[in-house]
Amino acid sequence: MPIIDLSENGLRHLNETLQSQAQGTNQQDWEIINPRGSHAIAVGLDAPIQVTVSGSTGYYCGGMNKQASITVKGSVGPGVAENMMSGMVVVEGDASQYAGATGRGGMLVVRGNAASRCGISMKGIDIVVEGNIGHMSAFMAQRGNLVVLGDAGEALGDSLYEARLYVRGSVKSLGADCIEKEMRPEHLAQLAELLERAGTDADPAMFRRYGSARQLYHFNVDNASAY
């Protein structure tokens, strides 16, 4: 397994090396040591490689990921897996704000807690948080799934479109146009698949589902106070 020491090689060398990996490369497994909270680690990857970051990172780790599987053995700063297209990013610690922002595909798993605005403007990504999430999570979320095993903060799903939100714990408050919805068999099946894919052991029957009331799709003067 190639090991890249960020304290010796630097961030530009790291990302250029990982971004240069092509389909069918023989170098499938990579390890990054001494990340020391550096920003933009392992961004813009586009090959089915496995990357392990041994330590905590700063802003935008795994951003714009495509195909790669990235595991962070630590915590991450703001914007982990931002605009991810496919692949998987697993954070074994906690995540700062706007984790998975604008993500279009793939899966983000946070074993700890995620701060405010988790999944903001998500567009197809699946996010599983084993701990709690902060306020304004899934704000303007359009597509994809957000699964929370712990509690959710204020204004969950504010101005939500068609993303699905599953929460096992308590919800401090719901945002504009977000309501609790029925958990039908198809939702239980989908949630079971998401939990299995994330390597998370939980009973889907313990979750509640939230989604859009669909009152903000078009302007209505009767709803002006909610805009």
Residue 188 pLDDT: 98
First to last CA, the chain: 52
The answer to whether the beta carbons of residues 34 and 56 sit under 8 Å apart is no
Residue 108 pLDDT: 98
Residue 125 pLDDT: 98
Task: Indicate the domain borders of the chain.
Answer: 3-217
Rounded to two decimals, the pTM is 0.94
**Which ranges of the chain have pLDDT less than 70?**
24, 217-219, 221, 223-224, 226-227
Which residues on adjacent β-strands are paired with residue 155?
A: none
Residue range 3-217 in CATH 3.30.465.10: no
Residue 219 pLDDT: 66
